[in-house]
């Protein structure tokens, strides 16, 4: 072998080792973060008893619900109505996204993730035989089911974005010690449901996803960090005692603003990759999705500036910035709705 060939071989071996080592470290960090998030989620998944209202509901057989339950209901109602209306306008049958059938019943009753994956992971031979029927995601779905999943989850993300536009703008203007516990819980629950809806939609029904193993790992890692930050600091805010003057909100916002930097770099890489793809519905959807990410980055940075006291010296400017943040979240929601519309029309 020539010296050049030897050097190339060494570089290749080192590069492979670095990628494998980085993946192992990130996997370990994700396991650690997942354990911490699971513990913190108890603050949002635990039953919430509202005087009088909960008593009335309990009397008619409806148990206490959690903050995440409420946010899921808030998203599910307009998603179902909008999906049926959209299909009717398009001249299709106005069936709900997920009709009452054995597949839907299985999804409702299954509580174990391993069982879910085992039931829906596509065998290799099925993917080779009918790639158009199962799509590019990890779950075996018919084209109709894939369309329903994609549209429903992106519309849910859009609904949560609009809810967050109002809640976050209002919450950011209130001094930290005076923020009601219910408002904190609703803000975090909206972010969790919206973020997960969008992430799951892009995972199950991808449209020109990021290319490259390493950048995909980092993308998933920073997405998880965003959710972890929301859950852990939100739970800390919910459990904050009267004697604790810690500003969990500002700490969480500061960390979130830092996470915007690597997320924006990944978005730029994806835009570059999309620029090399052929024009079509899938490429348009992918561009809309990344553009909506940019809108969230702007909103997250503005929120940080507002809650950390940068504009405390001028209430009018502070209110204006909070309004601008709300507008960017509305834009994010519109872009999510646009993705669903393009998928439905296509």
pTM above 0.85, yes or no: no
d(CA 267, CA 256): 16
CB within 8 A of 307, min separation 6: which ones? 172, 176, 249, 250, 253
* Model pLDDT, residue 74: 79
Read off the pLDDT of residues 170-219 as tens digits, 9 standing for 90 and up: 988 988 778 887 788 788 888 888 888 888 888 888 888 888 878 888 88
Which of the residue ranges 41-45, 80-84, 204-208, 307-311 would you say has the lowest mean pLDDT?
41-45
d(CA 141, CA 203): 13
d(CA 175, CA 183): 13
Q: Which residue has the higher pLDDT, 36 or 301?
A: 301
Q: How far is CA 118 from CA 114, 115, 133, 161, in A?
A: 6, 5, 18, 32
d(CA 248, CA 340): 35
Measured at the CA of 195, the angle between CA 193 and CA 200, to 5 degrees, comes to 90
d(CA 63, CA 44): 16
Sign of CA dihedral 59, 60, 63, 68: negative
Q: How confident is the model at residue 165 (pLDDT cuts 50, 70, 90)?
A: very high
């Amino acid at each position: 072998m020539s010296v050049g060939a030897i050097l190339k071989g060494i570089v290749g071996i080192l590069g492979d080792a670095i990628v494998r080592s980085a993946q192992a470290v990130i996997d370990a960090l994700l396991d650690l973060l997942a354990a911490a998030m699971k513990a913190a989620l108890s603050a949002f998944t635990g039953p919430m008893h509202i005087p009088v209202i909960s008593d009335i509901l309990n009397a008619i057989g409806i148990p206490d619900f959690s903050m995440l339950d409420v946010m899921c209901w808030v998203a599910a109602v307009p998603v179902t109505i909008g999906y049926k209306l959209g299909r009717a306008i398009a001249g299709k049958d106005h069936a709900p996204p997920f009709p009452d059938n054995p597949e839907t019943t299985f999804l409702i009753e299954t509580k174990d993730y391993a069982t879910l994956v085992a039931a829906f992971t596509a065998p290799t031979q099925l993917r080779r035989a009918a790639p158009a029927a199962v799509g590019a995601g990890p779950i075996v779905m018919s084209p109709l089911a894939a369309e329903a999943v994609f549209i429903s989850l992106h519309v849910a993300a859009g609904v949560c974005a609009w809810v967050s536009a109002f809640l976050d703008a209002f919450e950011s203007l209130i001094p930290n010690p005076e923020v009601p516990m219910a408002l904190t819980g609703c803000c975090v629950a909206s972010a969790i449901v919206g973020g997960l809806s969008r992430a799951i939609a892009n995972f199950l029904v991808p449209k020109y996803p990021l290319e490259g193993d390493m950048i995909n790992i980092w993308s998933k890692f920073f997405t998880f960090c965003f959710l972890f930050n929301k859950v852990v600091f939100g739970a800390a805010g919910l459990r904050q005692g009267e004697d604790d003057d810690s500003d969990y909100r500002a700490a969480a916002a500061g960390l979130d603003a830092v996470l915007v930097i690597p997320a924006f770099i990944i978005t730029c890489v994806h835009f570059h990759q999309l620029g090399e793809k052929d024009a079509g519905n899938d490429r348009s959807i992918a561009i809309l999705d990344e553009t909506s990410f940019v809108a969230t980055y702007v909103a997250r940075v503005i929120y940080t500036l507002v809650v950390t006291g940068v504009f405390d010296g001028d209430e009018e400017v502070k209110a204006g910035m909070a309004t601008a943040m709300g507008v960017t979240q509305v834009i994010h929601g519109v872009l999510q709705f646009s993705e669903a519309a393009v998928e439905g029309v296509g």
